[in-house]
Structure 1
Amino acid sequence: MVSIDAERLEAFMQAELSFLAQRPHEPLTLQRIVEASTPAKVAKLVHEELPELFAARVKHIEAVPGWADQPELVSIRDIFVQSFKDLRLSEPDLANAQSAASLSDFTEVIYSIRRRHRPVTVLLGEAMRKMRRGDADAESTFQAWADVFLSSRISTEMLTSHYTKIIEAAGVNPTQVGVVDTKCNPGQICQEAAEQVEKSFSEEAGAGDGIRITVQANNCINSQSEIEFSYIPRYLFYIVQELLRNSARATLEAKQAAAAAGTPGPGPIAVTVCADQTQVVIRISDHANGLFGNDEKIWSYQFSTSAQPLKAYMDCASPLSGWGMGVPLGRLYAEYLGGSMELMNMPGTGVDAYLFLKRIALDSGAGERAGQQAGQQAA
């Protein structure tokens, strides 16, 4: 074993980080994620991809003028540097990676990275708020910078989530391939998101002032059967949840204003799910009088419907929540997976949000291979 002193190791790591950050990198597709359906394959993909992604994001932060004077950006950079070092100092035994147990050391590194990265989104949101206060003209520039940064983060979050799901798989769900469910039911997910938002806003508003959300899940117009498609259920839940939260808060405010004026309040929020053979579409409609002023503000990472403090989000399970990050980051998630999100504002009436999700063609054998691997791990 060769011994290297700490100073030389640090210099080597910094040189390697700079080198990997400059290498051309193709976006990580969902197809590549699903193809990594065994512990050995997903460990190889993680070991190859994550260091380059982290290195690129370190340099992306360092490209921001005055980044060293922003404590939040410094913290984010330090997080990525440490995770980069951990990965480069950890080598999965791919030759013998026939089971999750043989990758236990590497798996612990991934778990540690996921814990370390939990505050990144909200730290970024706080940094952006400070930059806005310092220079209003910087918002559009930082908006574009954040789009690139957060798109890269989706890659790493999806990859590490997929790794842990493959490693933890024990034949619980035969339709699950890591983070992807080949039988994802969007109607059911919308119903679960609606129930959670109703509960949270009822607790916030008090008795008698709750929010009602209706969900209508139509059959696929081609198969005339219940809608199912290959997707990442957790991401879909968070995207729908964030859209519902915005509609619910606007509806609650409109309801309280109507009660004070002695006029009828807005009706329930309506969610409609439909699909054909190429896409799934979700519409969320409210009657909360719409957005006033600049409609585009809803897509800004600076815009928030909530005034909760930063610390309220530090341990939140959702990767989208925090300081107004939800809706624009939700759109990034949809676009990253080949879909889109659009808002139609009707001033004085309400807002219709449309989520267009492409059906993803997956290798038909991926689920079978994952199931076989899960059986081997459980044996």
Structure 2
Amino acid sequence: MRIYRILYRQARVLEERLDYYSQFNPSPLSMQQFTDFGENATNSDSFMFLRKELPVRLANIMKEFNLLPNKLLHMPSVEAVRNLYRQSFLDLLHFQDGIGPVTTTTLDKFTDALVKIRNRHSDVVMTMAQGVMELKEAHAINANTEANIQYFLDRFYMNRISIRMLINQHTILFGDSVNHQNHIGCIDPQCDVVKVIEDSYSNARFLCDQYYLASPELVLRCHNGKDKATKTIMAAGAKADKTAVSVVYVPSHLYHMLFELFKNAMRAVVEHHGAASDTFPPIDVLLVMGQEDLTIRLSDQGGGIPRSVMDFLFNYMYSTAPQPAVSGLDTPPLAGYGYGLPLSRLYARYFHGDLQVTSCDGYGTDTIIYLKALSSEANELLPVYNKTCQRQYSTPVQTHDWSSQAHSALFVRPFSTSSRPRTQPPSLATSDTQ
């Protein structure tokens, strides 16, 4: 009985602290603030900020868990994720008010705690995705449930990106993590966009060659419209002007987006034209630095995407490729898990950029990454737990006020549970709900 009382007391304290910290909104930082803080702040300054900010960000998303459907919350993988977050939140509570003077020992313990939290959450994306798959296998999912899951996962993964950003900045600047030359934490003040494009293309091509024994070439065009620079054209194997385009950014974020887009484009091109083809149309990349935006347009001739499928591209656990079987390969699969595009868009939107896809069915697809050119305008986009957020989960999917076939690409909801047209008109008694 004593053990149960202790566990009950701990659970109550946890809920009280979650209620307290979830009252506060996260404090979004700009890329400029990240770099200024990294250049001038001390370990103690970072500690004082993070020991309050990290619990706030954790509490905001942890409270939102409670708004999810009960069936999803009881999935083993989702329970595992919630337990990880509870443990990380409790770890951070040890560094709140009442710990006494901030000593070197306290700072070292805090940095160690952040490293443990980061390692603990390393597989959260896949674990949460597995939880959604468990739900789909065990229960039928209606439109409202799927809409709520989509809404939550966008916010959950964005919250995770922001927390890892804060942790990485601190551990690189003040811990034992390796800091690359000229980087401020994980931020490169002169991020060489051309090099990131080259690296992500090379690694995606390596995977493509392994799976298909063939891959398309790259054609890269750079234009610095901000400085009225002359256009630079780089064909495969040539060298582009490395100073043509640079931006204050996190190279690993940009790499993540580009690697995913190159994988998708290469798979589409090879499969559309046939792996036995002698030549493939190249993947064309246009890189433009403007006054406000840095734009990367990636164009392929991989057959395009039908409009009926476009609505599903950013839905979690949807993929145009078959789900890969578990194997002993040392390399990751080229495609098939379905969260690459949704997560890539979140990385783009994290600092108020975007990722958009347009396609010509039968020809090819253009994917555009927008990033803020000015670091002072690249602000974090963070989810907030409040009444507006709570209403989102309780508001049912609205009934259509247009008449159409249920499978029409123009009118069907992205989360529709049925794609079959009606075989007969509804009765007069139910027509007002259709």
Shorter-chain-normalised TM-score: which range?
0.7 to 0.9
Q: CA deviation at 1:7?
A: 5.5
Larger radius of gyration: 2
For residues 18 and 328 of structure 1, the distance between their equivalents in structure 2, rounded to whole angstroms, comes to: 30
2:312 aligned to 269, 274, 297, which one? 297
For residues 266 and 117 of structure 2, the distance between their equivalents in structure 1, rounded to whole angstroms, comes to: 34
For residues 157 and 114 of structure 2, the distance between their equivalents in structure 1, rounded to whole angstroms, comes to: 19
Mapping of 1:314-329 within 5 angstroms? 323-329=337-343
TM-score normalised per structure 1: 0.81
> Relative to 1, partners in 2 of residues 1:70 and 1:312: Cα closer, same or farther, differing over 3 Å?
farther
Match of 1:288 in 2: 302
2:150 aligned to 143, 153, 156, which one? 143
Match of 2:425 in 1: none
1:55 aligned to 53, 59, 73, which one? 59
Task: Provide, for residues 311-344 of structure 1, a one-character-per-residue CA deviation record: whole Å limited to 9, x for no partner.
Answer: 789x999xxx982111111111111211111111
For residues 169 and 336 of structure 2, the distance between their equivalents in structure 1, rounded to whole angstroms, comes to: 23
Match of 1:357 in 2: 371
For residues 310 and 48 of structure 1, the distance between their equivalents in structure 2, rounded to whole angstroms, comes to: 43
Report the residue type matching 1:358 in the other structure.
K
SS of 1:218 mapped into structure 2: strand
> Relative to 1, partners in 2 of residues 1:255 and 1:159: Cα closer, same or farther, differing over 3 Å?
same
Note if 1:115 corresponds to 2:119.
yes
Task: Provide, for residues 66-95 of structure 1, a one-character-per-residue CA deviation record: whole Å limited to 9, x for no partner.
Answer: 133211211111110000001112469896
Match of 1:20 in 2: 21
Match of 2:221 in 1: 216
Mapping of 1:1-379 within 5 angstroms? 8-37=9-38, 38-66=42-70, 67-90=72-95, 103-133=107-137, 134-137=140-143, 138-168=145-175, 173=180, 175-206=182-213, 209-222=214-227, 224=229, 226-256=244-274, 259=276, 266-292=280-306, 293-308=308-323, 323-361=337-375
Report the residue type matching 2:375 in the other structure.
A
For residues 177 and 132 of structure 2, the distance between their equivalents in structure 1, rounded to whole angstroms, comes to: 41
More divergent stretch after superposition (193-202 vs 330-339) = 330-339
SS of 1:22 mapped into structure 2: coil
Aligned alpha-carbon RMSD (Å): 3.2
> Relative to 1, partners in 2 of residues 1:279 and 1:156: Cα closer, same or farther, differing over 3 Å?
same
Q: CA deviation at 1:58?
A: 1.8
Kindly indicate whether the alpha-carbon contact (under 8 Å) linking 1:254 and 1:266 is maintained by their aligned counterparts in 2: no
Report the residue type matching 2:210 in the other structure.
E
Kindly indicate whether the alpha-carbon contact (under 8 Å) linking 1:198 and 1:213 is maintained by their aligned counterparts in 2: no
Task: Provide, for residues 137-177 of structure 1, a one-character-per-residue CA deviation record: whole Å limited to 9, x for no partner.
Answer: 23223211211222212211111111122124899656322
> Relative to 1, partners in 2 of residues 1:238 and 1:64: Cα closer, same or farther, differing over 3 Å?
same
User: 5+ residue gaps in structure 2?
Assistant: 230-242, 378-434
User: 5+ residue gaps in structure 1?
Assistant: 364-379
Kindly indicate whether the alpha-carbon contact (under 8 Å) linking 2:299 and 2:366 is maintained by their aligned counterparts in 1: yes
For residues 278 and 209 of structure 2, the distance between their equivalents in structure 1, rounded to whole angstroms, comes to: 19
For residues 147 and 301 of structure 2, the distance between their equivalents in structure 1, rounded to whole angstroms, comes to: 30
Q: CA deviation at 1:240?
A: 0.8
Match of 1:370 in 2: none
Task: Provide, for residues 38-67 of structure 1, a one-character-per-residue CA deviation record: whole Å limited to 9, x for no partner.
Answer: 322222222111112112222211211113
Report the residue type matching 2:282 in the other structure.
P
Report the residue type matching 2:79 in the other structure.
V
For residues 304 and 171 of structure 1, the distance between their equivalents in structure 2, rounded to whole angstroms, comes to: 36
Report the residue type matching 1:49 in the other structure.
E
Report the residue type matching 2:57 in the other structure.
L
Kindly indicate whether the alpha-carbon contact (under 8 Å) linking 1:55 and 1:81 is maintained by their aligned counterparts in 2: no
> Relative to 1, partners in 2 of residues 1:123 and 1:29: Cα closer, same or farther, differing over 3 Å?
farther
More divergent stretch after superposition (19-28 vs 276-285) = 19-28
Task: Provide, for residues 277-313 of structure 1, a one-character-per-residue CA deviation record: whole Å limited to 9, x for no partner.
Answer: 3221101111011012321211111222444559789
TM-score normalised per structure 2: 0.72
Kindly indicate whether the alpha-carbon contact (under 8 Å) linking 1:126 and 1:310 is maintained by their aligned counterparts in 2: no
SS of 2:22 mapped into structure 1: helix
Kindly indicate whether the alpha-carbon contact (under 8 Å) linking 1:121 and 1:322 is maintained by their aligned counterparts in 2: no
SS of 1:217 mapped into structure 2: strand
For residues 320 and 327 of structure 2, the distance between their equivalents in structure 1, rounded to whole angstroms, comes to: 15
> Relative to 1, partners in 2 of residues 1:52 and 1:243: Cα closer, same or farther, differing over 3 Å?
same
Report the residue type matching 1:76 in the other structure.
V
Report the residue type matching 1:237 in the other structure.
Y
> Relative to 1, partners in 2 of residues 1:102 and 1:62: Cα closer, same or farther, differing over 3 Å?
closer
Higher helix proportion, which one? Answer: 1
Query: Among the aligned pairs, what percent are the same residue?
Result: 24
Kindly indicate whether the alpha-carbon contact (under 8 Å) linking 2:304 and 2:361 is maintained by their aligned counterparts in 1: yes
For residues 353 and 125 of structure 2, the distance between their equivalents in structure 1, rounded to whole angstroms, comes to: 22
For residues 295 and 311 of structure 2, the distance between their equivalents in structure 1, rounded to whole angstroms, comes to: 22
> Relative to 1, partners in 2 of residues 1:361 and 1:69: Cα closer, same or farther, differing over 3 Å?
closer
Kindly indicate whether the alpha-carbon contact (under 8 Å) linking 2:68 and 2:148 is maintained by their aligned counterparts in 1: no
SS of 1:348 mapped into structure 2: coil
Q: CA deviation at 1:217?
A: 3.1
SS of 1:297 mapped into structure 2: coil
> Relative to 1, partners in 2 of residues 1:21 and 1:302: Cα closer, same or farther, differing over 3 Å?
same
Report the residue type matching 2:349 in the other structure.
E
SS of 2:274 mapped into structure 1: helix
Q: CA deviation at 1:264?
A: 7.6
Q: CA deviation at 1:214?
A: 3.0
Kindly indicate whether the alpha-carbon contact (under 8 Å) linking 2:169 and 2:185 is maintained by their aligned counterparts in 1: yes
> Relative to 1, partners in 2 of residues 1:309 and 1:73: Cα closer, same or farther, differing over 3 Å?
farther
For residues 132 and 116 of structure 1, the distance between their equivalents in structure 2, rounded to whole angstroms, comes to: 26
